[in-house]
Structure 1
Amino acid sequence: MSEVPDHRVGRVGNPSLLRRLNLVAALGALLDAPSLTLRELQAVVGVSRPTAEQLLAALVADQWVEEVAGPAGGRGRPARHFRFRAGAGHVTGMDIGAHKAMAVVTDLRGRTLAEHRVPLDPELDAPSRLRAAADTAHACWAKVGLAADEVTAVGCGVTGAVRAEHRVRDVSSGPTGSGLATYSLPGFTAVDVAAALSEAVGRPVTVANDVKLAALAEHWQGAATEHADLVYMFAGHRAGAGVLFGGRVHEGKHGAAGEIGALPTLGWSSTMARLHARGAALAARRKLPPGREGELVITAATRGDEDSLAVLSEVAAVLAKGAAILALAVDPEAVVLGGGMSRGPLFADLFRRELATLTLFPIEVLVSTLGAESVALGAARLALDEVLADLLHVPHA
C-alpha cells in the first residue's frame, strides 16, 4: 500500500479525498501486517500522530479494526496494538461439479470457518444442480450461524469457458463451425448461472471457470504460494488447464485462456475416455459404484497391472504435451498438477518425465496440496478479492 503523507492535501485539494486516501492506506497497512502500533502505522502511512490517531479511531468505530494485546514484557507502558478484524465480513466459495457441489465460508483473512459437500448425479439437470449447490451454501452458513446478509461476497467455480458477464459460453460447435468444444455441465450454457445462483442464495454471485480457480487457490494457500506465474494442469474426471500471471488468473478475451483441451489433436477427450473405460472395468470387476475410475486405475497400475499402467502413461503423456504447449508460450515459474489423478507419486512421476522431454528448460512440477477443496477455495479467494478491492477503492478526484 502506497504511503499518503499529510502534505498531499495541498496537491489533492480535496480534504474528503485526502481522508479517504489516508484511510485506505491505513487499512492496507493493517491488512498487510498481523498487527501494528500507532507509531508503526504512522510511519507506514506517512502521517502525523494526530492524523494516525484519527484514522485508527475511525476504523475502530466502523469495526474494520480492533485493539489487541501486544507482546508481553518490556519496561514502561506497553504500546497499543491494532489489527484488521478478520471477522468484519465473510466470503463464500462454491464449487459445482459433475459429481459434487461444495461450499466453504472464510473470514476476511481467508481462514476457513466451515465447509459442506454433497454428492451429485452427473446427469442432473441444470435447475436441480443449481438448487443443490445453493442448498450446500446455506448448509455451510448454518454451520457457523451466518445468515445470507452476513455473507459479504460469493464466488463460484463451474466447468466450461466463462465469459466476462459470468455466463458459461456455448462453444459446442466452435466459433466457426470448426468442431472444437469444451466440456460444460448439462444445461449450463442455456441458463444464466450467476443470476440463478444469486437468487437462490440471496447474495450476488461471481462465476468463473473451476480449473482457473483451482490454480488461484494453489497460489493462495496451496503448493504454489512462492510462485506467481503458473501453468495449472487438472487431471480428474476430465482434463483442463489454467494460467496465472502475477498471481492473477488469465482469462483471455472470451474467457477461454487455457482451454487447449478443445484441440482434438491433443487427444485429451479420447484418452480420458479410455482411462474411465479402464476404471469402469476395474470397478465392475470389484462391484464398486462409479466415480472412482481414475483412483482405481492408479491403484492397479501401482500394483503392476500392465493395462492400467499403459492407460495411465498415455494420460500423463497427453497432459504433459498440453502443459508443454502452455509452458513454451508463457514460460512459467512452475507447473502445478492438480485433480484426483495427482494424488500418489506414480502419475506425477510419469507426468514429470514426459514434460521434461518437451520443454526448453527444466520446469518445476508441483503437486496440489489442496485436493478436492481447491475450486471452492479459489472461488472464496475470488470473492475475497472483490471485497478487498471495494474496501480499498479510492474514487477519482
Structure 2
Amino acid sequence: MSQDRDAGARLGDSSLLRKLNLAAALGAFLKAPSLTLRELRAVIGVSRPTAEDLLAELLTEGRVEETTPPRQPSSGRGAGRPARYFRFRAESGYVSGLDIGAHKTLAVVTDLRGNTLATSRRELDPELDAAGRLSAAVETARACWVEAQLAPSDITGVACGVTGTLRAAEGVHDVGHGPVGSGLAPYSLPGFTEVDVPGALSEGLGRPVAVANDVKLAALAEHWKGAAQNHRDIVYMFAGHRAGAGVLIDGQVHQGRHGAAGEIGALPMLGWEAAVERLHARGAELARSAGTAAGREGEMVITSAARQDPESLAVLIEFAEVLARGAAVLALAVDPEMVVLGGGMSRGGPILAEPFRRELAKFTLVPLEVVTSTMGADSVALGAARLALDTVFAELLAVPGS
C-alpha cells in the first residue's frame, strides 16, 4: 500500500494528509537539484495521480518550475518522450542576514538556495549609541536590498547577529558573563542591554527579525560555506576585537539552556580579557606611532609581529595561547572533529595559528585538526542568512493541524 493511502487510513483526514504530502514534496525538491515525476513519487512514496496533483500545486504556487534535464553521458535516446525535470525556485523568496558589530554593520541578501546576491557594509564609531547603531543597521540592510534590486516585500526572512548572549525573555544579555554589575567584566555593544533589539530591527525593516549571538552565527556560516563544510562536530574560536567561542553538535549550533553555551570567556582564570586588553593596547601604541586611525589594532600587531618585533610577537603569542586554552576546555567537553580559528585576527595566518596549535595540543587527549576560517568579514552576516533560511524553510514545511 502506498504511503499516502497508509497515512490516510491512519489519519482519516484527507485535508491533513494533503498538507503532509505537499510538505513532503516540497522538502524533496529542496534536497535535490531537480526531480522527475517518477523520482518525486519514489522519494515521498505516493501514487502517480497524487504526485501529479502535488506537483501541479507547487507549480501554481511558484515554488517549483520546469528545468532542463541534467547533462547525461552520451548514449542513444530511447523510445518514448524524454522525462521532464522540475526544480525548486530559489528566487521564490529571499532572505537577509545582518551583522551588527562594534566597528561595522554588514548586510547580505541571498536567494532560497543561499546564493549571495548583494552585500553592503558601513563603518561605525565604536562609541555610537544603541539607537544610532540600530538605525545604521536598518539603513545598511535596506541599501543591500536595493543593490539586489529587491523590494522589502520580496524579503521573506531576516536574521541578525549581535555581540551578546540572547535570552528569549530578556533580549540581549551581556555575552554570557552574567548580569550587569556582576563583576565579571561583560562585553556588549553600547546600550544594547537596555533596548529591544529584535523589536527595533523589525520595526525599521518591516519584517520579523530573529536575533542571535554573532560568534555562534559565524560558526554556523563556517559549517555552511566555510572550512568546516564536511564536519558535524566543531569548536569555533573567534579572535578579533574580542575573544569568543561557539560549538556545533551534529551540524547544529549548541545554544544550551540559557543561550550561553560556549561562553567560556566568563572564566577569569582563562585570562581572555587581560590578553585582549594587552593586544589592543599594543595595537593602539603602534597606531599612534604610525599616525593611523583606531579600529585596526589587531592588524597592526600582526603586521608588526610578522616583522619580528619582539614585543608584538610576545603579545600575539600570549593571545593565541590563551585562546587555545579556552579551546581545549571546550574540546575536552564535546570531543569535536575539528577546531576552526575565525574572526579578524585569524587572517594573520600561521603567525597566530601555529602557537594556537602548539598550546592546544598540550591539553587535549587526542590530536585535533585546526583550520583557519575561509569566511572573512562576512561570516556573521552569512550565518544570520543561514538562520533566516532555516526559519523560512521551517515555516514552508510546517503542517498546520498535524
8 Å Cα contact 2:180/2:186 also seen in 1: no
Residue 390 (structure 1) aligns with: 395
- Hey, what's the Cα distance between the residues in 1 that align with 2:379 and 2:131? 24
8 Å Cα contact 2:202/2:208 also seen in 1: yes
The unaligned stretches of length 5 or more in structure 1 are none
Residue 58 (structure 1) aligns with: 57
Q: Which of the residues 352, 355, 377 maps onto 2:357?
A: 352
By how many angstroms is 1:164 displaced? 2.1
By how many angstroms is 1:182 displaced? 2.8
By how many angstroms is 1:359 displaced? 0.5
Residue 81 (structure 1) aligns with: 85
By how many angstroms is 1:181 displaced? 3.9
> Does residue 1:44 correspond to 2:47, yes or no?
no
Q: Which of the residues 155, 161, 174 maps onto 2:178?
A: 174
Q: What letter corresponds to residue 227 of structure 1 in structure 2? A: H
- Hey, what's the Cα distance between the residues in 1 that align with 2:226 and 2:327? 19
User: What does the per-residue CA deviation read over 1:272-323, in whole Å, with 9 as the maximum and x for residues that have no partner?
Assistant: 1111111111112211111111111112112211111100110011100000
TM-score by length of 2: 0.95
Q: What letter corresponds to residue 148 of structure 1 in structure 2? A: P
8 Å Cα contact 1:89/1:108 also seen in 2: yes
- Hey, what's the Cα distance between the residues in 2 that align with 1:303 and 1:341? 16
TM alignment of 1:217-366, pairs within 5 A:
217-343=221-347, 344-366=349-371
Shift in alpha-carbon separation, 1:166–1:116, aligned structure 2, 3 A: farther
**Deviating more after overlay: 75-84 vs 197-206:** 75-84
TM alignment of 1:103-142, pairs within 5 A:
103-142=107-146
The unaligned stretches of length 5 or more in structure 2 are none
Secondary structure of the structure 2 residue equivalent to 1:55:
helix
By how many angstroms is 1:350 displaced? 1.3
User: What does the per-residue CA deviation read over 1:101-133, in whole Å, with 9 as the maximum and x for residues that have no partner?
Assistant: 000000011111101000000000000000000
8 Å Cα contact 2:176/2:260 also seen in 1: no
- Hey, what's the Cα distance between the residues in 1 that align with 2:353 and 2:239? 10
Secondary structure of the structure 1 residue equivalent to 2:172:
coil
Shift in alpha-carbon separation, 1:361–1:147, aligned structure 2, 3 A: same
Shift in alpha-carbon separation, 1:153–1:172, aligned structure 2, 3 A: closer
By how many angstroms is 1:394 displaced? 2.0
**Deviating more after overlay: 184-193 vs 156-165:** 156-165
- Hey, what's the Cα distance between the residues in 2 that align with 1:293 and 1:308? 11
Secondary structure of the structure 2 residue equivalent to 1:67:
strand
Residue 6 (structure 1) aligns with: 5
Q: Which of the residues 385, 388, 397 maps onto 1:380?
A: 385
Secondary structure of the structure 2 residue equivalent to 1:6:
helix
Shift in alpha-carbon separation, 1:115–1:351, aligned structure 2, 3 A: same
- Hey, what's the Cα distance between the residues in 1 that align with 2:177 and 2:101? 22
Secondary structure of the structure 1 residue equivalent to 2:238:
strand
Instruction: State the number of aligned residues.
Output: 395
Secondary structure of the structure 2 residue equivalent to 1:7:
helix
Secondary structure of the structure 2 residue equivalent to 1:47:
coil
TM alignment of 1:144-223, pairs within 5 A:
144-165=148-169, 167-170=171-174, 174=178, 178-223=182-227
- Hey, what's the Cα distance between the residues in 2 that align with 1:144 and 1:234? 30
Following TM superposition, the consecutive aligned residue runs of length 4 or more in structure 1 with deviations greater than 3 angstroms are: 3-6, 170-178
> Does residue 1:18 correspond to 2:17, yes or no?
yes
- Hey, what's the Cα distance between the residues in 1 that align with 2:179 and 2:120? 38
TM-score by length of 1: 0.96
By how many angstroms is 1:171 displaced? 7.2
Q: What letter corresponds to residue 13 of structure 1 in structure 2? A: G
User: What does the per-residue CA deviation read over 1:27-85, in whole Å, with 9 as the maximum and x for residues that have no partner?
Assistant: 11111110001111111111111111111000000111011111466334221000001
Shift in alpha-carbon separation, 1:111–1:207, aligned structure 2, 3 A: same
Shift in alpha-carbon separation, 1:4–1:129, aligned structure 2, 3 A: farther
**Deviating more after overlay: 48-57 vs 187-196:** 48-57
8 Å Cα contact 1:4/1:21 also seen in 2: no
- Hey, what's the Cα distance between the residues in 2 that align with 1:354 and 1:202? 48
By how many angstroms is 1:189 displaced? 0.1
Shift in alpha-carbon separation, 1:294–1:171, aligned structure 2, 3 A: closer
By how many angstroms is 1:17 displaced? 1.0
Shift in alpha-carbon separation, 1:15–1:181, aligned structure 2, 3 A: farther
8 Å Cα contact 2:176/2:263 also seen in 1: no
- Hey, what's the Cα distance between the residues in 2 that align with 1:65 and 1:182? 48
